[in-house]
Structure 1
Amino acid sequence: MATPPPEQGPESAQRTQQEARRGAFSSRRVFILAAIGSAVGLGNIWRFPYVAYENGGGAFVIPYLIALLTAGLPFLFVDYALGHKHRGSAPLSFARESPRTEVLGWWQVAICFVIAVYYAAIIGWALRYTFFSVDKAWGSDPGGFFSGDFLQTSAPGVTADVVVGVLVPLLIVWAAVLLIMGLGVQKGIGATSVVFIPLLVLAFGFLVVRSLFLPGAADGLDALFTPDWGALTDASVWAAAFGQIFFSLSIGFGIMITYASYVGRRTDMTGSGLVVGFANSGFELLAGIGVFAALGFMAQANGTAVDEVVQSGIGLAFVAFPAIISEAAGGSVIGVLFFGSLVIAGLTSLVSVLEVVVSAVRDKFDLQRVTAVLVVGVPATALSVVLFSTTSGLHVLDIVDFFINRFGILFVAVVAMVVLAWGVRALPGLATHLNHHGSIRLSRGWIVLVSVVAPLALGFVLLRDFLDTLEKPYGDYPAWMLNVFGWGSAALVLAAAVVVTFLGRRADTPADNTRKEADR
């Protein structure tokens, strides 16, 4: 197996000093757990089961696995290669690959900042509901309790009326996350992942086992896994599979670039990627079993069909599951396990999202970790409180989440793949780097998947979502709210990326270092 040539000279010494200052994971195992912690988030639990059910049931497994192998894992390797080769945050890694691409890294950073601001609110809700589960505080009307008594949701619009019951858990979440971030890469992020990921698997595993013994569980599983083979001829089903894989693996918006930069130079990155990818998909399957077993029980208890109780997203977590908890024997235990799992999965994902921003700010402005955490964390906390602890928080969150996922994350990923593949021709060099120590060797087939298959598939998903949104504006929100918090947030992250790229000192790129050597 070929080995990379040794690095020499002042540039190598400078890079070594930078790496020591940035921090690192103590082992490949810690990196894998941290990467799994980032990938396994709220979407695995409340999005995948519904997507699978709506797109062919058991037959959805086929396009899902094909999407994993042809787009998810190949693009995951792109992120790994950029971060591991260039040893920097997303902007710095892009800049070291080609100075012209630094703006792509900052685009990803801006997206992560927006996600962190609203993602913390959902974790705060789950934290509060963990305690609500003990005495089933939502009573006989979980839907009314969630939007009424708990969130005190107003009509669509923006208000300044703070909800104390939302504000307090939100502040607790931010305090915990900033503490973890301040402790550093290994003592904070790594140590948290080592504890939380096994705990998450145990808690959710107990939940699944308990759900399987509920009356009607078999009906729910039948609804989920009964294959609709005709769905395989529907282009929208394949689009859903590629979209689900892309979002669930945390690829394309800087997280895996950042985490890969904290790993030892001789680490097997391709083998690690397979472990992370299949662990993430395994957890999604586990979530599907647990959720639909519980929905089968709910359908039987209400004397209805499973398709009448199926929900996704916030409705599943904070309305359907509380209803299940109220009906089931031992419901309090199910509730604590379910919402506790949401909190753990959410925290590990939020840490990874925020680390993208912190790492980029440190590299750009040469800050110490604690300083960078405060520079990023204080404004993020303030925005989170202002926007999402009020009676209008649910509406704003719903809009921002929809638009930033589709026209932020998906858009920058497609652009990045096209630029890396065709603009700066980076893929052969990235493949060579991963092949030095990778147990899975990347060939021309990988380059074809990243440069042609993945961009076309995800581009189709993006175009379809764009046209659908133009034809039927999202939700029933006023146009001004969609323009400000929807299209506005998608445009703002791109504008911010352009501004920050040219703000402060330039990234430490190979061209910069060559010029420094010439000056000497």
Structure 2
Amino acid sequence: MAREMWGTKLGFILAAVGSAIGLGNIWRFPYMTYSNGGGAFLIPYFTALILVGITVMMLELVLGHSTKGSAPLALKRLKAKGSEWIGWLGVMAGFVILTYYMIIIGWGAVYLLKILLGGFPTDFEGFFFNDILELSAGPGVLGGFSVSVLIAVVAVWLINFIIVNSGVKEGLEKTMKVFMPILFVLILALVIRGVTLVGGMEGIEWYLTPDFSKLTDVQIWIDACGQVFFSLSLGFGIMIAYSSYLPKKSDITRNAFIISLMDSGFSFLAGFAVFGTLGYMAVSKGVPFEEVVAQSIGLAFIVFPQALSLMPVGGEILAAVFFFCLIIAGISSSASLLESVTSSVMDKFNVSRRKAVVAVTICGLLCGLIYTTKGGLYWLDIVDYFFSKYMLLIVGILEVLVAIWICKGDKLVTYIDSRSELKIGKLWKYVVGIIAPLILLVILAQYTLTFLSEGYGGYEWIYLYLGLGVVALSFIVSFALPFLPWPKKVESWDEFVEKEQNDDESDMNGKQGKITKSDSGVDA
């Protein structure tokens, strides 16, 4: 069957940006900027964006575009011995992350509904942990399902199913053409309100005031590189799948820059909304700014809603806007994760899109049920730690080494330059092939040393071992899937690209023949 294509260049850009812009852009980037030297953090951040983010983004786009396949098929075409499993490892990482990413979107949906129906609570921390999550005493106490969360998660899975089942052009593209403009308008509304509040500019000052002394701390550089890699959806197989749906004549370099810069710009913009509002909260409560700042889930589900509740008018409306932003950003990313897995299943088993998305949806929902229990937050935290900090880095390192050094480094450079206005030359090969994996290896080593010496989150080792078990299972599945046969012979990268070029030349000659014949008729 012919491979689906994006209807427009804008549709691809919005879908790719929608994948990159997720929940972390709204709560993780602002906090990391604040806690890592304010404005000074932007120096290592944009350095990492160029050396790691854009270069690896370009690699994933060229892998998908040149092979017209999902991550496993792309790595298979490269013909590196046994490289297909690396593609599956990225897909497995995306699948596992998808199973708990849906839960966070579900939390946002339940929170939004409860605020709309009952207004703001008096105790935000108790409201989130007790009323919504019904949190148990620890990971060893599942305590049954949190019914409201379970219902919301099923609804979120259903929405994602509808989007991905509708196809690339009719589902993903049309949805993101609606979602992305709405998301930017809503976040801009929060920014305008945040910076115009009393104390808002003080919060922005805390957000951006540079502490250049932190630039000598290795940790700020590690945090910046990690944020860039995770935020751009690299290592999931998403960008490989998305670029495989691009028309033949697509500017790979320009697309990589646009996607990366739009994602970074949105993160930076979201910080103005968050810290402008928190500045107002500090002034309203008469406490130092440091006392109102929290990170991660606490910032999104406890502190920020509490800040909005302090407003004399319009707080509930802004809270609805904020959680609607979280839901839209979450669905735009979760749909891309679902598409990455679905496209891989379609390629490997030659099944229809509907059969593939049904299978992945049912399997993902069942695997994610543990996170909807009353002990689910603990398991989400544990599994997320191993997959967001380790698995994606491993996939990125392996992907770069195989594509650049074992297979087609020079040919990929030629391929990119032949389709891009901005010529990257061999400089890109050395940046993405040497600097990027070295940076990722340093980050991976630092995370590993910290884990071995301190563990994580105060959890007992038995639970951390179970989290590592999920990682091990992902490796086992990734190693096993390449042993299953492909429905038809997979052409090598050289064979496939040459065939594509010959098809282009045939089409061109056919068009020229028609023009010549027409012209000769007129002349006669």
What letter matches 1:489 in structure 2? V
Given the alignment, which residue of 232, 236, 245 partners 1:249?
Answer: 232
Residue in 2 aligned with 1:217? 200
Determine the C-alpha separation between the residues in 2 that align with 1:422 and 1:272.
Answer: 24
Number of the residue aligned with 1:10: none
Q: 1:131 aligns with which of 100, 106, 113?
A: 113
> Aligned equivalents of 2:7 and 2:173: distance in 1?
8
| Structure 1 length-normalised TM | 0.92
Instruction: Work out the CA distance in 1 between the residues paired with 2:324 and 2:32.
Output: 23
1:44 to 3, 25, 29: 25
Instruction: List aligned pairs for 1:337-352, cutoff 5 A.
Output: 337-352=321-336
> Match of 2:339, as an amino acid?
E
Do 1:404 and 1:489's aligned partners in 2 also have CA atoms closer than 8 Å?
no
Cα deviation, residue 275, structure 1: 1.0
Question: Alpha-carbon deviation of 1:434?
Answer: 1.4
Amino acid at match of 2:24: G
Give the % identical residues.
39
The Cα offsets for residues 417-471 of structure 1, whole Å up to 9 and x where unpaired, read as 12222222x2211111111121221212111111111111111111101111111
Correspondent of 2:426 among 427, 441, 444:
444
Shift of 1:137: 4.3
Distance 2:479 2:319 in 1: 45
Aligned twin of 1:361: 345
Native 8 Å contact 2:142 2:373 kept in 1? yes
What CA distance in whole angstroms lies between the structure 1 residues aligned with 2:493 and 2:214?
53
The corresponding residue for 2:511 is none
Residue aligning to 1:503: 484
Deviation at 1:134, TM superposition (A): 2.7
Asked if 2 retains the 8 angstrom alpha-carbon contact of 1:136 and 1:332, the reply is no
In the alignment, what sits opposite 2:317? 333
1:95-134 matches, within 5 Å, as 95-100=76-81, 101-134=83-116
Given the alignment, which residue of 294, 313, 323 partners 2:306? 323
Q: Secondary structure at 1:510's aligned position in 2?
A: coil
What is the alpha-carbon distance in structure 2 between the residues aligned to residue 355 and residue 436 of structure 1? 28
- Would the aligned equivalents of 1:70 and 1:453 in 2 still touch at CA under 8 Å? yes
Partners in 1 of 2:114 and 2:200 — Cα distance?
24
CA deviation digits over 1:266-325, x for unaligned, max 9? 011211111111111110110111111111112122222112221121111111112112
TM-score normalised by the chain length of structure 2: 0.91
- Give the 3 Å change call, closer, same or farther, for CA 303–87 of structure 1 in structure 2: same
Question: Are 2:163 and 1:180 equivalent residues in the alignment?
Answer: yes
Query: For 1:402, which of 385, 408, 417 is the aligned residue?
Result: 385
In structure 1, C-alpha distance between the alignment counterparts of 2:21 and 2:213, rounded to whole Å:
30
| Among candidates 403, 407, 410, match of residue 420 of structure 1 | 403
User: 2:173 aligns to what?
Assistant: 190
Query: How far is the alpha carbon of 1:493 from its aligned partner?
Result: 1.4
Matched, 1:61 2:49: no
Partner residue, 2:510: none
Quick one: which amino acid aligns to residue 333 of structure 2? S
Tell me by how many angstroms 1:416 deviates. 1.6
Seen in structure 2, the aligned counterparts of structure 1 residues 401 and 307 have a Cα distance that, compared at 3 Å, is same
Q: In the comparison of the two structures, how many residue pairs are matched?
A: 493
State which of 421, 439, 446 in structure 2 corresponds to 1:457: 439
Residues 199 and 232 (structure 1), Cα distance of their counterparts in 2 relative to 1, 3 Å cut: same
Q: Specify whether residues 429 and 155 from structure 1 end up closer, same or farther in structure 2 by C-alpha distance, changes over 3 A only.
A: same
Indicate whether 1:264 and 2:264 are aligned. no
Deviations 1:326-378 (CA, angstroms, capped at 9, x unpaired):
11231111101110000000001000011111000000000000000111111
Indicate conservation of the 8 Å contact 1:96/1:508, yes or no: no
The letter of the residue matching 2:252 is M
Residue 270 of structure 2: aligned partner = 287
Query: Aligned partners of 1:87, 1:237: CA distance in 2, in Å?
Result: 38
Of 58, 62, 72, the match for 1:81: 62
What is the distance in 1 between the residues matched to 2:122 and 2:487? 58
Partners of 1:427 and 1:29 in 2: CA distance: 29
Question: Partner residue of 1:380?
Answer: 364
Deviation at 1:380, TM superposition (A): 0.7
**Aligned partner of 1:299: which letter?**
A
Structure 1 window deviating more from structure 2 (330-339 vs 437-446): it is 437-446
SS in structure 2 at match of 1:124: helix
Q: Secondary structure at the residue paired with 2:247? A: coil
For residues 265 and 514 of structure 1, the distance between their equivalents in structure 2, rounded to whole angstroms, comes to: 16
Q: Structure 1 unaligned segments of length 5 or more: list them.
A: 1-17, 516-520
- Tell me the CA shift for residue 508 of structure 1: 4.4
2:222 and 2:367 map into 1 onto residues whose CA distance is 34
Show CA shifts across 1:49-76 (max 9, x none).
Answer: 1111111111111111111111110110
* Partner amino acid, structure 2, of 1:286: L
> Counterpart amino acid of 1:87?
K
Name the CA shift for 1:506/1:498 in 2 (closer, same or farther; >3 Å): farther
CA distance in 1, matches of 2:492, 2:224: 40
Contact 2:346–2:356 (8 Å) recurs in 1: yes
Residues of 1 paired with 2:469 and 2:205: CA distance?
Answer: 42
Amino acid aligned to 1:325: L
1:130-209 equivalences under 5 Å are 130-134=112-116, 137-156=119-138, 157-159=140-142, 161-209=144-192
Q: Secondary structure at the residue paired with 1:47? A: helix
Cα distance between partner residues in 2 of 1:511 and 1:238: 38
1:105, CA displacement in angstroms? 0.4
SS in 2 for 1:220: helix
> What is the 5 A alignment of 1:25-36?
25-36=6-17
Answer yes or no: is 1:230 the counterpart of 2:219: no
Structure 1 residues 139 and 66, CA gap change in structure 2 (3 angstroms): same
Deviations 1:210-231 (A, max 9, x none): 1112221112111111100111
